[in-house]
Amino acid sequence: MKETDLNMNQGQQPNKGEEDGKDKPSGLMEKIQQLGQTNVPQLSQDSNIHCLTIVGQIEGHMQLPPQNKTTKYEHVIPQLVAIEQNPKIEGVVVILNTVGGDVEAGLAISEMLASLSKPTVSVVLGGGHSIGVPIAVSCDHSYIASTATMTIHPVRLTGLVIGVPQTFEYLDKMQDRVVSFVTKHSNITEEAFKDLMFAKGNLTRDIGTNVVGDDAVDYGLIDGIGGIGEAIRKINELIETKKQTDEKEGLIQ
C-alpha cells in the first residue's frame, strides 16, 4: 500500500482518545445525572468529627443479593480502627436507618463503637430495627427522631436449622448476648427489654414490639429525642468535656 493511502486511512480514523472524550460526560453533567444537582456540600477537610452511616441491611458472613442496600461489616470495622488511630478525629456521629441483619456482625460493630476512646453519639432516623438497637445504644449518647421506630424481637435463625435441643440452646445464648449488651449500655432494665421482646399482639406476624421515638426514650432505651442538629451539639460538648478532663489529668501527672 502506498504511503499516501496510509495517510488517508489514518486521517479518516478518529483518535480513540477523542472518541472516549466525546462519550464521557463532564464532571458537571455526571453530578446532574447521578444526584440531580450541580453542587454537593462537602465535609471540611479539617473537620474533627467523623460521620458513620449504618443503612439498609447489615451484611455479615453471607453476601446478600445485589439489589439489597447493605452495610458491610468488613467495611465498617476498618473505618472504626482508622478512627481510633487518627488523632485529627475527636468524635464520631453514627447515623442509623437500618432494618437490622446479621446478629454477630451487628454485635461486632456495637462492641467496637462502645470501646472507642473517643466520644460517640448516635441518631436513629427512620428506623433502627432488630440488631440496629445494640448499635444505637452503644454510643455515649443516643438520639431518636420523634417519627423513627425501633423493632425489638427475639433472635431468629434463617436457612437450614437442625431441630435438636443444642440449636435452641445456642439461639438462647445468642439472644442473651444481645439483651446483656443493650441493658448494659442503656437505661432499660433486663425485665422491661425482655417484655418488649416477647410481647404478643404488637406485631402482626411476629412477636415483639415496635417502639416509636418518644416511647423509646420513656423506656430508657434511647437518651433523648433529636436529630442531626442535637447530635452535632452533643458531640461537640462531649469533645470539649474530654479535652478538659485530659488537661486536668495531664496537670496531675
**What residues are labeled active site?**
130, 153
One-letter amino acid of 30: E
Q: How far is CA 169 from CA 4, 157, 158, 164, 176, in A?
A: 85, 12, 16, 9, 11
C-alpha cell at 25: 460526560
Calpha distance 182→134 (Å, rounded): 5
Residues 6+ apart with CB under 8 A from 38: 28, 31, 32
**Which residues share a beta bridge with 102?**
none
CA distance linking residue 107 with residue 148, whole number of Å: 21
Q: What gap in Å lies between CA 53 and CA 132, rounded to an integer?
A: 12
Beta strand segments in 78-155, E? 91-101, 120-128, 141-144, 149-152
